[in-house]
Amino acid sequence: MTTAVKANRVKQRMVVSRLLQALPILVLATFIVFSLMQLIPGDVAVTLAGENASAERIAQIREAYGLNQPFLAQYGDWLWRAAQGDLGASLLSGEPVAQTIARTFPNTLLIAFYAVLLSVLVGVPLGILAATRAGSPLDSGIMGAASLGVAVPNFWFGMILVLYLALTFKWFPATGFVSPREDFSAALWYATLPALALCTNGVAEIARQLRSSLVEIQSSQHVRTLHAKGLSPARILWKHGLKNVSVNLLTVVGLLFNKILAATVVVEAVFAIPGVGSSIVNAVLQGDFPVVQGAVLAMVVTVILVNLFTDLACTVLDPRISEA
């Protein structure tokens, strides 16, 4: 068997085992969310019944929506249906949850991927710049800014951006959103400020990690061999240095995606974006558990897929991983 075929087998096996491992995580995540929902004060039946409803009416509604069932029964019911592809409908609006997700998730994914892209586009050059001038004032400047960038919360930076870029200079719209499914370029336009707000941590994180791994690799023995072979410093950096740190970088980007996806919840609230994050927040406040469950499921599935993809990309980039 050739090495390539062997490597492919290894990759296939890895994908299957990863997907199987993901199942319990999905169940656990939805179960935790479901349990937490029970702790939220307020009663969705009261909301549904409207103002001044009688106790009888509320009890009826409870009955109709299965809200009087024991906690585990409710969860089991949800899980059973979800396994068959039925995520239920919103208790309040009656909109099927799948439809809510289809409506809101592209918006969330757009700002999340946009933010990851910006982090990479800005963070990678900064990291390389700092690494190639390690110890210089430029390096200290970049690293100082990066330390700050890691520490500053996204929403705070978002506020500042809105204040300057939107309200003062009027370069970007302050709030609102266009769905990427309707008009992609307009959607990008509206998503720019939220993505900028989301990417500060990412830029800082990527620049720092890339610099440190590049500096480390530059002083490694195999890079000394490359110098001894007569390669130019540029070739050593761009060909060997970057490929050597790419696995590390990809791992950082994968983790960053998870962080950014979680942070969209806050940033969507700041910019009034109709994304999954805001639907989760609203649904939680109103006790609309099918929506919460469905949205969380969508988030978790996305995170699992992105992690799987990063792991696969790592095995392509680093021949040693498929051996393990």
Partner 1 sequence: MAQHTERPRPAQDTPLLSVENLSISFAHPGGETAITRDVSFTVAAGERLGVVGESGCGKSVTGLALLGLLPATARVRGAIHFQGEDLSRLPASRLRRLRGSEISMIFQEPMSALDPVFTIGEQLTETLRSHRKVSRKEARERAIEALAEVGIPSPAQRLNDYPYQFSGGMRQRVMIAMALICRPKLVIADEPTTALDVTVQAQIIDLLREISDSTGTALLFITHDLGVVAETCSRLLTMYAGEVVESAPVDSVLYRPRHPYSSGLLCSLPGLSERGQRLPSIAGRVPAPDRMPRGCRFQARCPHATEGCEQPQPLQPLTDHRLARCWRSAELTLPGAVTP
Residues in contact with partner 1 by CB under 8 A are 3, 220-232, 235, 240, 243-244, 317-320, 323
Residues 201 and 156: their CA atoms lie apart, in Å, by 12
CB of 248 to partner 1, least distance (A): 11
Q: Which is nearer to partner 1, 129 or 226 (CB)?
A: 226
* Sequence-separated contacts (24+) of 317-323 with Cβ below 8 Å: 317/243, 317/246, 317/247, 317/250, 318/246, 318/247, 319/7, 321/247, 322/7, 322/10, 322/11
Find out whether 167 and 232 touch, Cβ atoms under 8 Å.
Answer: no
Q: What is the DSSP string of 161-223?
A: HIIIIIIIS-SS-SS----TTT-HHHHHHHHHHHHHHHHHHHHHHHHHHHHHHHHHHHTSHHH
CB of 236 to partner 1, least distance (A): 10
Q: How far is CA 174 from the centre of its chain?
A: 23
Q: Which is nearer to partner 1, 278 or 315 (CB)?
A: 315
Q: Which is nearer to partner 1, 179 or 322 (CB)?
A: 322
Q: Which of 249, 251, 247, 252 is nearest to 320 (CA)?
A: 247
Q: Which is nearer to partner 1, 81 or 224 (CB)?
A: 224
CB of 191 to partner 1, least distance (A): 35
Q: Which is nearer to partner 1, 6 or 81 (CB)?
A: 6
- For 32, 65, 97, 224, 243, the CA distances from 131, given in Å and listed in that order, are 43, 60, 48, 17, 15
CB of 165 to partner 1, least distance (A): 41
- Reduced 3-state DSSP string for 290-306: HHHHHHHHHHHHHHHHH
CB of 322 to partner 1, least distance (A): 10
CB of 304 to partner 1, least distance (A): 27
Residues 230 and 227: their CA atoms lie apart, in Å, by 5
Find out whether 122 and 199 touch, Cβ atoms under 8 Å.
Answer: yes
CB of 137 to partner 1, least distance (A): 17
Q: Which is nearer to partner 1, 208 or 240 (CB)?
A: 240
Q: Which is nearer to partner 1, 41 or 135 (CB)?
A: 135
